[in-house]
Amino acid sequence: MSASIHPAAASIQAAEYLPPMTYADFEAALQLVASDRQHRVMVPFLVSGLRKQAPFMNGQAMMLEILCSAACLADLPMKPRAAA
């Protein structure tokens, strides 16, 4: 008998975990999220900083940093309101 995983168990396991992601994947995704050129310039620095912090964080802390980075980069510039 082989040591393969039963198909039903594999689908349950797949539903429990996020797919793997590399730092290059993360950087590419942030480039897509960045709202303007200035934000896109920041992406490599954010990824580098997160990569340096990663050994000291658990999965939940890492996900929070990823989400916060994306939220900051997606921030659209404020436009001044027209005078009434």
Domain spans, the chain: 36-74
Tokens standing for residue 20: 């793997």
Q: Is 62 exposed, middle or buried (0-12, 13-18, 19+ CB in 10 A)?
A: middle
The amino acid that residue 43 corresponds to is: V
Question: If we measure between CA atoms, which residue out of 55, 52, 59 comes closest to residue 21?
Answer: 59
Report pLDDT digits (tens) over 60-80: 999 999 999 999 898 866 666
b/e per residue 22-55 (b: at least 16 CB within 10 A): eeeebbebbeebbeeeebeeebeebbeebeeeee
pLDDT exceeds cutoff 70 at 5 = no
| Least trusted range by pLDDT, from 1-10, 14-23, 33-42 | 1-10
pLDDT exceeds cutoff 90 at 13 = no
pTM over 0.85: no
